[in-house]
Amino acid sequence: MEESAEHRHSGSGKMQLGLSVSDSDVSSFTPLVVLELADDTKAEAISWLLNRIRDKQQNGGAELLVNQLLFPAQDDQKSNPNVFVVGSTLQRLLNGAEDVGLFKEFQDGTMRGFTYANRESFKDFNGDGEGFLSDAECQYIIKHELDTLRAKNEEHVPGYPKLKLYPGKSVVRRLQSKGVLIQYFPLHNKEDLKRLSFSWYKKFKLSFQPLDDIRHYFGEGLALYFGFLEYFTFALVPMALIGIPYYLFDWEDYDKYVLFAVFNLVWSTVFLEVWKRCSATLAYGWGTLCRKKAFEEPRAGFHGALGLNPVTGREEPVYPSSKRQLRIYLVSVPFVLLCLYLSFYVMMVYFDMEFWAINTYHENPNIATSILLFVPSIIYAVVIEIMNLLYRYAAEFLTEWENHRLESSFQNHLVLKVLVFNFVNCFASLFYIAFVMQNMVLLRQSLATLLITSQILNQVMEAFLPYWLQRRRNKKVHKRMRRLMGDKELPLLGQVQLETEMNTYLGTFDDYLEQFLLFGYVSLFSCVYPLAAVLVVLNNITEVYSDAFKMCHVFKRPFSEPAANIGVWQLAFETMSLIAVVTNCALIGLSPQVKAYFPESDTQLILIVVAIEHVLLAFKFILAFVIPDVPKHIQVKLAKLEFDSLEALKKRKTLEDTET
């Protein structure tokens, strides 16, 4: 067994001779991905896994290069000996690019599915193809090849009789869900990172973000998030510009907000429709728009009794969907309802505090009590954030426990749970103040405090806290490394050591969620507090910088994730903009300015407002239907691609017919 682990690169025995050897030895290929196994993994399992990774594709292997990293023995703290770096030959990567269905720019400027046979016809392919694939793409390909390394006839993982393997199922996912494989993540590329972070957030001039570079380094999913963030911020600028004079000149005149509400209505509809087109343009240029979705594998955490998969006809763990439904309806739904009730209860406590503060102020108006006026809102805002955070963990735990088979279904259930609660938690008090209490002064004050407090909290929680923790950790690691190795330069070992201990970036979920709530504040109630848009613009500008910083220096590099759009969030934002139409119409109906037109009859006013609201809703649907989701010039390119592939198919068929 020991031999096979040594058969290609240096085994552990040789490595411990000299550190410099292991470091130079590893660099016989460019390490792209780090693989960390549990430190008590049995040797036979390790050598079996490495063999499978190195084995030829014909034999069902991944045909990748893999090497063990050995850290010097330490007296105070034991490093994990089972850390591996994975790389690949260029030829293997190009073949892998075809496997994953990568789209690249063709000579004629259109995007086409890459095939190894036609490689010379792609635009940036020079020589042997060095530099044709970006780092992120290479790492994505390696991840794909590792994920699709499938069990053959092995009954179980060598050395672990209980860790059963099912033919045709992913080995890596199985190891991961059983805790043998702790993590695998892509390495940063220090050169590129330096260049990217300079053009992204280090130079002090206002400019667009380098979206293409971000996409090259972090992949399409993240680049789309930053594109959306930028687009959203720019879209808010006109609203902010209108908001400032409103704020300056009508501070005490709550009646003038009708015009602003109308603007809100139109803006929130157009905003999302235009984004769809922008996102399609971006995704086309990045080659993800026409890329087909791969067949979805079960999640790593999915478990169940052995059964027949009706689709593939193979034996694998299955979990009856009726059981899952029971869990959802008997546990998850009641839990969410309970949380909503709790949130309402907290809201009521807040209103009690608020009235107490107002009464205190009226009894004894001075500076101290006027500051006291803001205290309940601030406390409430903090409590809201804490509740959101706690709920977030609970929702993740519950959704995990529901045992969804596919990642997409897991994500949908998680997003739904979190969105419903966050929406109610953040906006219930505002709705209550606006429509039950009909107190516009309190609404304005409450909105401002909620917005400002949550923004400050978010920036702290999201960027500064992790950064501070990371710096402390970095220093410790540096110290440890220096003590051990003296002045010897071991860049790779150090880098891997550092990055292994960095926090994992958990995806764009929380970032989108934050933008979703900000969008809610702006589109629902900004007509009564026109400065909201200004605050959100300011927040988002700092958000770009803090998010960029956290991606580059606080978190592990994430695997690139091909994305053609912002997915379920488009739907979430559209739902919010529907609610915004209803809310703004209702606010218009409540305004004294409008009421003045119907002095004798409330009924007529309500009927007219409802009629207008219905017309607006219908108009919104028609608009969404009429505006094509994909711009014309991209539609033409997509049609051209389809036409060409049909023609090629026809030609091939004719050729085959004449051959036979």
Each residue 351-370 as x (binds a copy of itself by CB under 8 A) or -, in order, gives: --------------------
312-351 footprint of a copy of itself as x/- string (CB under 8 A): xx--------------------------------------
Is 648 one of the binding residues for a copy of itself (CB under 8 A)?
Answer: no
- Long-range residue pairs from 340-349, CB within 8 A, at least 24 positions apart, any chain: 340/420, 340/421, 340/424, 342/387, 343/387, 343/421, 343/424, 343/425, 343/428, 344/424, 344/428, 346/380, 346/383, 346/384, 346/387, 347/380, 347/428, 347/429, 347/432
3-state secondary structure of 305: strand
Question: For 486, left (φ over 0), alpha (ψ -120 to 50), or beta?
Answer: left
190 near a copy of itself, rule: CB under 8 A:
no
**Residue showing tokens 């293409």:** 212
> Which position among 305, 311, 436, 596 is part of the footprint of a copy of itself (CB under 8 A)?
311
**CA gap 142, 134 in Å, rounded:** 12
Q: Which of 77, 153, 207, 603 binds a copy of itself (CB under 8 A)?
A: 603
Binding part of the chain for a copy of itself, among 134-142, 489-497, 550-558, 641-649 by CB under 8 A, reads 641-649
Residue written as token pair 């993994």: 41
Report in angstroms how near the CB of residue 56 gets to a copy of itself at its nearest.
11
Spatial contact of 495 and 188, defined as CB atoms under 8 Å apart: yes
Question: Which of these segments, 8-16, 264-272, 281-289, 606-614, binds a copy of itself (CB under 8 A)?
Answer: 606-614
**DSSP output for 112-129:** EE--STTGGGBTT--TT-
The only residue of 461, 506, 541, 646 in contact with a copy of itself, by rule CB under 8 A = 646
Q: Give the contact letters, 500-539, x = binds to a copy of itself (CB under 8 A), - = no.
A: ----------------------------------------
Q: Which two tokens stand for residue 347?
A: 């809201």
| Chosen residue from 306, 465, 639, 648 binding a copy of itself by CB under 8 A | 639
- The radius of gyration computed from the CA coordinates of the chain, to the nearest angstrom, equals 29
Tell me how far, at minimum, the Cβ of 658 lies from a copy of itself, in Å. 7
Residue selected from 109, 127, 310, 599 as contacting a copy of itself according to rule CB under 8 A: 310
Strands 33-37 and 181-186: antiparallel
What tokens were used for 628? 């094509």
d(CA 395, CA 408): 16
Range in contact with a copy of itself (rule: CB under 8 A) among 78-86, 153-161, 365-373, 601-609: 601-609
Work out how close the CB of 48 gets to a copy of itself at its nearest, in angstroms, rounded to a whole number: 23
| Nearer to a copy of itself (CB atom), residue 249 or residue 295 | 295
3, 58, 322, 486: which one binds a copy of itself (CB under 8 A) = 58
Closest CA to 284 of 224, 228, 217, 196: 224
Nearest CA-CA partner of 94 in 72, 118, 77:
118
d(CA 353, CA 350): 5
Does the footprint of a copy of itself cover residue 610 (CB under 8 A)? yes
Query: Min. distance of Cβ 60 from a copy of itself in angstroms?
Result: 10
What's the CA gap between 275 and 278, in Å, rounded?
5
| DSSP one-letter code for 202 | I
Shortest Cβ 577–a copy of itself spacing (Å) = 14
CA distance 607 to 352: 34
In terms of DSSP bridges, do strands 156-157 and 160-164 run parallel, antiparallel, or are they unpaired? antiparallel
Q: Nearest distance from residue 46's CB to a copy of itself, in Å?
A: 28
Among 368, 370, 642, 652, which residue interacts with a copy of itself (rule: CB under 8 A)? 642
239-247, 478-486, 549-557, 598-606 -> range binding a copy of itself (CB under 8 A): 598-606
In the complex with a copy of itself, which residue's Cβ is closer, 478 or 640?
640
Which span (438-446, 469-477, 486-494, 634-642) binds a copy of itself, by CB under 8 A? 634-642
Q: Which residues bind a copy of itself (CB under 8 A)?
A: 57-58, 295, 310-313, 582, 602-603, 606-607, 610, 614, 636, 639-640, 642-643, 646, 654, 657-658
